[in-house]
Amino acid sequence: MLDLTIPASMMRQWRIYQKVALGKLYTSIKKGIFVSTHSSQGIVFAVSRKVEPGVPKLVVDAIQLVTDWGVEGDYHAGRLVRHRYLARKDPTRPNIRQVLLVDTGIYAELAQKDIRLDPGMFAENITLEGISVMDLAVGTRLRLGEAVVEISEIRHPCHQLNEMDKRLLKAVIEKEQGQTRFKAGVFARILQGGWLRPGDRAIVLSPSEPAIFA
């Protein structure tokens, strides 16, 4: 069997990078010099999963994305809807919320409001750095490491987020000129599975690029 274990020394180095990167991010915010990143390429900053529902998800060394299923060992994986409210309404509904993506820019914007969170606290499976997920249209495909996902839905946040900070739900809902904008991540479905680890490349695929390779 192929050994997919990440060397402990490599993960220690990555954990240090994550702490330093978040530290620099919050320092730049405090100085008022943070600039949001809008790019078609970035990296996987953190990966998370949790067997039970609810927030937060637990940051882990690697996750396995399974085609048309989700993250192996995660509560929200499955071909049929796993969201508890939606499942009560129609348990036969297809699961298009197989994984949740958030980016460090969202954490940065919250830090400007004095709300400091760590990866996984949004209950996301994948935290990206360098790509603004809220700017991605439904139907956009991303290559994440060896996997490919397709944005399926903007997340409509609920009161559960306030378990992390009582101000959080209000902070991720913006209203302007009668329009409501949610800034709590996007859901995606898995088109091509594969292992995903912090440091893996993240690429927004253009329509001309093949999303799945044999």
User: What's 163's domain CATH number?
Assistant: 2.40.33.20
Structure tokens at 155: 């997340």
pLDDT band at 86 (very low <50, low <70, confident <90, very high): confident
Structure tokens at 203: 């690429």
Question: Does a structural domain hold residue 1?
Answer: no
Q: Is the pLDDT of residue 5 over 70?
A: no
Place of tokens 């809220």: 134
Residue ranges making up the domain that contains 189: 36-205
Determine if residue 175 is left, alpha or beta; phi over 0 gives left, psi from -120 to 50 gives alpha, anything else beta.
Answer: beta
How far apart, in whole angstroms, are the C-alpha atoms of residue 144 and residue 43? 8
Number of compact structural domains in the chain: 1
Q: Is the pLDDT of residue 21 over 90?
A: no
Question: Does a structural domain hold residue 214?
Answer: no
Strands 126-129 and 99-103: parallel
DSSP sequence for 88-136: HH-TTSB---SEEEEEHHHHHHHHTTT----TTTT--SEEEES--GGGP
Q: What is the mean pLDDT of residues 17-41?
A: 60
The 10 Å Cβ neighbour count of residue 96 is 14
Q: Is the pLDDT of residue 147 over 60?
A: yes
Q: Is the pLDDT of residue 165 over 80?
A: yes
| Reduced DSSP (H G I as helix, E B as strand, rest coil) percent helix, strand, coil of the chain, to 5 | 25, 30, 45
Question: Does a structural domain hold residue 40?
Answer: yes
Q: How far apart are the first and last CA of the chain?
A: 21
Most confident listed range (25-34, 80-89, 91-100, 173-182): 91-100
pLDDT score at 214: 34
Report the helix count and the strand count for the chain, using DSSP H and E. Answer: 4, 13
Report the percentage of the chain scoring pLDDT > 70.
78
Question: Does a structural domain hold residue 125?
Answer: yes
Question: Does a structural domain hold residue 94?
Answer: yes
Q: What is the mean pLDDT of residues 33-50?
A: 79
pLDDT score at 176: 82
How far apart, in whole angstroms, are the C-alpha atoms of residue 11 and residue 60? 10
Q: Is the pLDDT of residue 34 over 70?
A: no
pLDDT score at 213: 38
Q: Is the pLDDT of residue 189 over 90?
A: yes
Question: Does a structural domain hold residue 119?
Answer: yes
